[in-house]
Structure 1
Amino acid sequence: MGRECKVLIVDDEFITRQGISHMIMWEQEGFSIVGEASNGQEGIEMIEKYQPDIVLADIVMPVLNGIEFSMILQEKYPNIKLIILSSYDNFEYVRTTLLNGAVDYVLKPTLNPEILLRALKKAAAGIPGFSLDRRESVALETQMERYLTGYQDTILETEYKERFPYMQFRILAGNMKKACGSNTRQWEKTQELMIRHLQKNGFEKLGTFYLEQEVFFCVINYKKPDEIFLIETLKEGTEKAGKVAENLFLVLSNGFTEFSGIRDIYEKEVKQALEQKFYFADKFLIEQREYITKEAERFRYEEYAELLKKHQFSQAMVLLKDYMEYLCRCRYDAYQCKNLFKNLLYNLLMEMEKCGVKSEELRRLYFKKTDKTESDKEFLLCCREITEELDAMVSECRHNEDSRIEEMKEYIKTHYKERLELADLAEEFSFNYHYISSYFNQHMQEGFSGYLNMVRIEKSCQLLKDSSMPISAVSMEVGYSDHGYYCRIFKKLKGETPSQYRRKSRTEEGNW
């Protein structure tokens, strides 16, 4: 009597694994996929666990490539048949694997159902005393998995009516990879606990399988009067399972009556909710009705940018922190929420760098800290800690800036007689030439030239009052080589000419 031929797929590309697993009706042809691995090392571990008859393996993989994999397989498991998946440009590698015991190779670009099935049957024929057990029908779980992933258009009512006799359905789903990591034993134990608890309490009409290798999917068929008891049972079961997998997070859909609606309900409701453990970190199970989101208003970026431009960092950080709190209240997508915070934080740090803050070092530190947050509470605490730390730096920065501005003012007062230009100031204080203009203007409320003129004119006023130097000599003494320009600037700032100022000042002192 024949049996199913067990097949293991080993390929680092998820799309390739997904395509192969849905390329043929495995059960009808007498084959079954016992597992999928993303590299050669994982493949060896799965071989020890599942003891497949045939392995389909890519030749170019991380950790352990196809050549190394074929050598280990030939040495440790010589009875397992190896089929190599290859691209056109690496036939020399394929030849090496054939020498290591591979029974066949398939070119990926030409792979289709007929070629795949032919290779599988050829490999199965080489297994001593083995005959394929072909089936007329395909398991309902397999059909549901194909239906949900888009590889099957419909599931006939005759296929599920006997299995699911009641009118009510709910979907229970959870990402076991996120809950348990690569600990497959923990996956199995957690799943087993949940299913046993349901069956123990009378809920036996179940259909369970995995989507995309990691999402546990369970269809529960039940009588309408049992709905409240079902929810209570699931809460009890998830509490028990949560002791095995501390990061367990399951979503229970709303009840529905049309079995054909499972794909839409999963795609439009359950799948989104599965990504939101971020907002339910203290729960192992949520009902679909608990997952309510609100449309978020856009960030006031123009206002934020203006505050940064004016170096009003504290106000900008209040705006940033408040918006993150608002997004969490809206239950905004966690991944996008973190990314938006990092982008806005980056803009803040770039502006603070102009004030002497080491932005690159802080950026790496803060981004890593943000990415590590696993709940909205952790994330908001992280935002507060970062903004408070930066606010303290801003205060110190302001003190340093005040000191630097005073030093600049003192430098101008000392060197005003010279042919002083903005480039001289930039060089003296190690500033970028283009930046120092806006920096000076921002802190002094006027430009460099305006301040220099003010200092020179004030010094000239003293000379006009206290000395009998000719006005042309006064202008030269305070740094103006052009007498006419000096007179124009003097009148602009004082409202009168240097001659008028001298006469007026001497009259007031009674010296004329």
Structure 2
Amino acid sequence: MSGLYKVLIVDDEMLIRKGIINYIDWEREGFQIAGEAANGKEAMQMIEKVEPDILITDIVMPDLDGTELVKLAKAKYPELEIIVLSSFENFDYVRSTFQNGVADYILKPKLNGEELIKTLRRIAPATKGTAKKAASMEEVLEKRIQGYTLPSHEEQMLKDFPYDRFFLTAICWLDSDMEGQVLESFMNLGVDKKALLLPENENDFYLLLINFPVEQQLSVKQELINLTNEHRGTGKNIASLISMPFSFIDELKNIHENSLQKLYNYLFYLSGESVLIDGELPETEKANTFRLSQFIEVFKQKKFDSAIASLERHVEQLTQDYKQDIFEFKSWLENIIFNIIVLLGNMKYRVEELEQGKYQYFADINEAKTAKSAVARFEEFLGAVQSLLADHTKADRSPGIQALLDYIDEHYADSLSLGALAEHFHYNPSYLSSYFSTHFHIGFSDYLNHVRIAKAKEILATSRSSVNLVSEMVGYGEPSYFCKVFKRIEGMSPGRYRKKSSAKM
């Protein structure tokens, strides 16, 4: 037992502590549980008593939290190695603990036996009085990116770069079976100094720092572009991100956060591009605001083709706005899915299959690495909606009703009444009135108004006919009444609609 590394676990939740204890076979892996504590005060008492080699601690705890515990423990026991547990929302808070000597962290949602033992093994060789191995250049650069305070000898290492210009480059989307070959080709660029930093496993990219004389800046950039295109030309799934050039290694953290991470977010939308270079990006325009209330109104009128077409146009706009927040984009798609299912359910459509499948749609969109793959899943949902509507229409609309609706669509400019249509098509007027209310959620008069206004919009957008003439062409005797109905349905006057339509052409 004396050769085992002693571990102290600190968390105010007993279930978390017991879970950690039961994750692995500690002794078989070379460790032993020396004790457990519910807060920082208890932990400090136990550290003195059991002299652990490794401390695993939560951040948010009563009495003495994890941040204060780290400061006190490292000040009094500098050889103690510390692993911090954190939730996603506390991650930025956790980073501050690194300056006090934390060895590593584990996000609680990813806490499992494999992750825990991997982290323990990574830091264990530095315990038990074993002298710490000198950090490599890659490890020191990683610390710089993470914002650690470096000891003086590691700061000195960063002064050993011979040239006065840097690029930070990310090689993205590498498959595991080819990453070695591809990374080696980038490491062997025809430049004088480079260092592979670390695999960014969360983002599926590898970082490469390139140091070169300032006069080689254009040639280095071109070589990165050429090499990426060569690999892509052989069918490899690869893209490269190239930061702004910078002159001082102290800028590395800022370049990583504000240049490279920005490019990675843009790559979500620009996945068709092989190389993104900060400062040389294509122009983009912010997408127009989507009028959800208008979409819902059109949907309730059962103008499904029109509603879905407006959705697809807006989605296309969104995917071209690469500066848009990725989370907001995905949330918007998920919100539309939710709204459509609720609308269809309220309209008495059978939405059981859509209800059952919506969480998978949400999960797939949330996990999508590109806008293209997120939209593809969204389009699958719309396809399922259209299939449902087609099946429902076939089952629900008799040939007689379809003939009546076709008649309205052809004779919208005539003087039409519910009674006359009922008599002509041999329906009871009460049944026909109920049909419009049930299936279109509006009465017959409003249905006819919507048909007429839709025709008026076509005429206004494609001709120079006066508003008075258009009013007469679509069946309104009084232009003033036509304008009133048009504004109620479209939210603007016929004249303003025409100007807006002309501006788009």
Q: Shorter-chain TM-score: which interval?
A: 0.5 to 0.7
Unaligned runs of 5+ in 2: 59-64, 83-123, 402-421, 448-505
Q: Which amino acid aligns with 1:190?
A: E
Q: Secondary structure at the match of 1:394?
A: helix
Matched, 1:201 2:154: no
1:311 is matched with which residue?
302
Matched, 1:340 2:291: no
2:168 is matched with which residue?
171
Shift of 1:386: 3.9
2:93 is matched with which residue?
none
Matched, 1:67 2:15: no
Matched, 1:302 2:293: yes
2:385 is matched with which residue?
390
- Is the CA contact 1:309–1:351 (under 8 Å) kept in the aligned structure 2? yes
Q: Which amino acid aligns with 2:318?
A: L
Among 212, 224, 243, which residue is 2:214 paired with? 224
Q: Compute the TM-score of the two structures, normalised by the length of structure 1.
A: 0.53
Q: Which amino acid aligns with 1:326?
A: Q
Instruction: Give me the whole-angstrom Cα distance separating, in 1, the residues matched to 2:381 and 2:269.
Output: 21
Matched, 1:275 2:265: yes
Instruction: Give me the whole-angstrom Cα distance separating, in 2, the residues matched to 1:359 and 1:85.
Output: 51
Distance of aligned partners of 1:81 and 1:366 in 2 relative to their CA distance in 1, 3 Å threshold: closer
Within 5 Å, which residues of 2 pair with 1:434-453? 442=442, 444-445=444-445
Q: Secondary structure at the match of 1:286?
A: strand
Q: Secondary structure at the match of 2:289?
A: coil
Distance of aligned partners of 1:296 and 1:149 in 2 relative to their CA distance in 1, 3 Å threshold: farther
2:482 is matched with which residue?
none
2:79 is matched with which residue?
121
- Structure with bigger gyration radius: 1
Instruction: Give me the whole-angstrom Cα distance separating, in 2, the residues matched to 1:106 and 1:376.
Output: 38
Q: Deviations over 1:279-335 (max 9, x none)?
A: 344566533334654322211223212212323222111111110011112224444
Shift of 1:222: 0.7
1:87 is matched with which residue?
38
Distance of aligned partners of 1:213 and 1:400 in 2 relative to their CA distance in 1, 3 Å threshold: closer
1:359 is matched with which residue?
351
Distance of aligned partners of 1:262 and 1:200 in 2 relative to their CA distance in 1, 3 Å threshold: closer
Among 294, 311, 319, which residue is 1:328 paired with? 319
Instruction: Give me the whole-angstrom Cα distance separating, in 2, the residues matched to 1:211 and 1:155.
Output: 26
1:19 is matched with which residue?
none
Q: Deviations over 1:340-361 (max 9, x none)?
A: 1221232223222244423342
Instruction: Give me the whole-angstrom Cα distance separating, in 1, the residues matched to 2:34 and 2:230.
Output: 42
Distance of aligned partners of 1:244 and 1:274 in 2 relative to their CA distance in 1, 3 Å threshold: farther
- Is the CA contact 1:83–1:105 (under 8 Å) kept in the aligned structure 2? no
Instruction: Give me the whole-angstrom Cα distance separating, in 1, the residues matched to 2:283 and 2:225.
Output: 20
Instruction: Give me the whole-angstrom Cα distance separating, in 1, the residues matched to 2:265 and 2:32.
Output: 39
Shift of 1:112: 1.7
- Is the CA contact 1:170–1:219 (under 8 Å) kept in the aligned structure 2? yes
Distance of aligned partners of 1:168 and 1:294 in 2 relative to their CA distance in 1, 3 Å threshold: farther
Unaligned runs of 5+ in 1: 1-50, 181-185, 430-435, 448-512
- Is the CA contact 1:84–1:104 (under 8 Å) kept in the aligned structure 2? no
Distance of aligned partners of 1:241 and 1:415 in 2 relative to their CA distance in 1, 3 Å threshold: closer
- Is the CA contact 1:58–1:86 (under 8 Å) kept in the aligned structure 2? yes
- Is the CA contact 1:373–1:379 (under 8 Å) kept in the aligned structure 2? yes
Shift of 1:388: 4.5
Q: Secondary structure at the match of 1:217?
A: strand
Within 5 Å, which residues of 2 pair with 1:226-241? 226-235=216-225, 238=228
Instruction: Give me the whole-angstrom Cα distance separating, in 2, the residues matched to 1:153 and 1:118.
Output: 20
Instruction: Give me the whole-angstrom Cα distance separating, in 1, the residues matched to 2:200 and 2:330.
Output: 27
Q: Secondary structure at the match of 2:250?
A: helix
1:149 is matched with which residue?
146
The number of equivalent residue pairs is: 361
Q: Secondary structure at the match of 2:306?
A: helix
Provide the identity percentage.
14
Distance of aligned partners of 1:134 and 1:154 in 2 relative to their CA distance in 1, 3 Å threshold: closer
Instruction: Give me the whole-angstrom Cα distance separating, in 2, the residues matched to 1:54 and 1:240.
Output: 51
Q: Secondary structure at the match of 2:276?
A: strand
- Is the CA contact 1:440–1:446 (under 8 Å) kept in the aligned structure 2? no
- Is the CA contact 1:143–1:152 (under 8 Å) kept in the aligned structure 2? no
Instruction: Give me the whole-angstrom Cα distance separating, in 1, the residues matched to 2:76 and 2:53.
Output: 12
Q: Which amino acid aligns with 2:247?
A: T
- Is the CA contact 1:147–1:155 (under 8 Å) kept in the aligned structure 2? no
Distance of aligned partners of 1:83 and 1:438 in 2 relative to their CA distance in 1, 3 Å threshold: same
- Is the CA contact 1:143–1:155 (under 8 Å) kept in the aligned structure 2? no
Q: Deviations over 1:168-211 (max 9, x none)?
A: 21111357xx756xxxxx49x83685256434633324362466
Q: Deviations over 1:92-129 (max 9, x none)?
A: xx99xx99x976767653522341465573799x99x9
Instruction: Give me the whole-angstrom Cα distance separating, in 2, the residues matched to 1:238 and 1:278.
Output: 18
Instruction: Give me the whole-angstrom Cα distance separating, in 2, the residues matched to 1:342 and 1:146.
Output: 38
1:251 is matched with which residue?
241
Shift of 1:133: 3.5
Shift of 1:439: 5.5
- Is the CA contact 2:170–2:241 (under 8 Å) kept in the aligned structure 1? yes
Q: Secondary structure at the match of 1:299?
A: coil
Instruction: Give me the whole-angstrom Cα distance separating, in 2, the residues matched to 1:102 and 1:117.
Output: 15
| Root-mean-square deviation (Å) | 5.5
Shift of 1:362: 1.3
